[in-house]
Chains A and B, each alone.
Chain A
């Protein structure tokens, strides 16, 4: 009699164990943050003692000047600008201006501006011939440089906003060149040979020339 009763409660009731473990699991899932390695990348120029002459050699029309003063006000191409988001289109037009494309091959890719122009899709070509090609803007993407000069007193926030706009402009150019959106271009996985080829094709001959100029020490 007693024996059969014992039989029923021999095992420990493990039903709630799963609930406890679930609780712990959910706690860890919620509290752990996976470190995100995302941000705006920038390649600094190599260490060089006398890099000043480089700036002077550049023709002024090939430099897109953005200046920020200590009150976070912008001066773009020597004219004040209030809306940061306009920079994207201005840089897009500036880089793709092809005012006087050179046919000399240069750079690590060994392509000329004319080659770059010929490699563009028809929609971009027609846009360039229709509304770009101005004499007072850049000669071609190989020569175009965007110069960002921030005062020492300007805030990091506006700097990031502008850097974001510049990257947006370049990513749009790269993306359009191979027929994808800028977002798709950013997400290209460079370890995949097929996507790497696309990435290289998009960037060939159009260097992302963003120069962070030494700021003036004082003033605004």
Chain B
């Protein structure tokens, strides 16, 4: 009887020495897999919500354009276009698309999708100009990135 008692006493608490390792593994997994935003957005981004969203499947083919008023007040209040890290003009879009296309493989070049993140208050004039340029650059697939509209409003 006494022998039995002794044995059970020695294994009373669960060894937790391996727990930090497991948690650290999870931590590293999340740190490695999350991609931090590469570009700093320099324009205002209050994006209107929409309901009928479609998810893009091939992330590799997507490039991003940001349109809105510059956050830096000294640059005026006209909406500007930001591609990657710099502001570009309307006439720079074709060049930029060709640059982005050259990063893709030959077969995928025509499937390039431009995701436009546009601020609420932007006027349609600049959007239409961008569309015309994208058409000329033969990047016909575009997407207006919007968050999901919540159910209650």
Within 8 A of B (CB), among A15-70: 15, 17-18, 20-22, 24-25, 28-29, 32, 34-47, 68
Judge whether B140 is part of the interface by a CB distance below 8 angstroms.
yes
Bound Cα distance from A11 to B17, whole angstroms: 10
With A39-B146, A164-B51, A212-B131 as contacts: A152 and B124 at CB distance below 8 Å: yes
Q: By the criterion CB–CB under 8 Å, are A17 and B20 in contact?
A: yes
Q: Is the interface of B mostly helix, strand, loop or mixed?
A: mixed
Judge whether B34 is part of the interface by a CB distance below 8 angstroms.
yes
Judge whether A190 is part of the interface by a CB distance below 8 angstroms.
yes
Q: Is the interface of A mostly helix, strand, loop or mixed?
A: mixed
With A21-B27, A28-B27, A44-B134 as contacts: A38 and B55 at CB distance below 8 Å: yes
Which of B20, B62, B134, B148 is the one whose CB lies under 8 Å from A37? B62
Bound Cα distance from A153 to B56, whole angstroms: 30
Nearest-CB residue, chain A, relative to B53: A38
Count of chain A residues with a beta carbon within 8 Å of a chain B beta carbon: 52
Judge whether A129 is part of the interface by a CB distance below 8 angstroms.
no
Judge whether A197 is part of the interface by a CB distance below 8 angstroms.
no
Indicate with 1 or 0, residue by residue over B101-113, a CB within 8 angstroms of chain A CB atoms: 0000000000001
Judge whether A1 is part of the interface by a CB distance below 8 angstroms.
no
Given contacts A46-B135, A154-B123, A161-B48, could you give 15 more A-B pairs where the C-beta distance is less than 8 Å? A25-B30, A36-B145, A37-B56, A37-B62, A38-B53, A39-B143, A40-B50, A40-B54, A40-B143, A41-B143, A154-B124, A156-B127, A212-B128, A212-B131, A214-B128
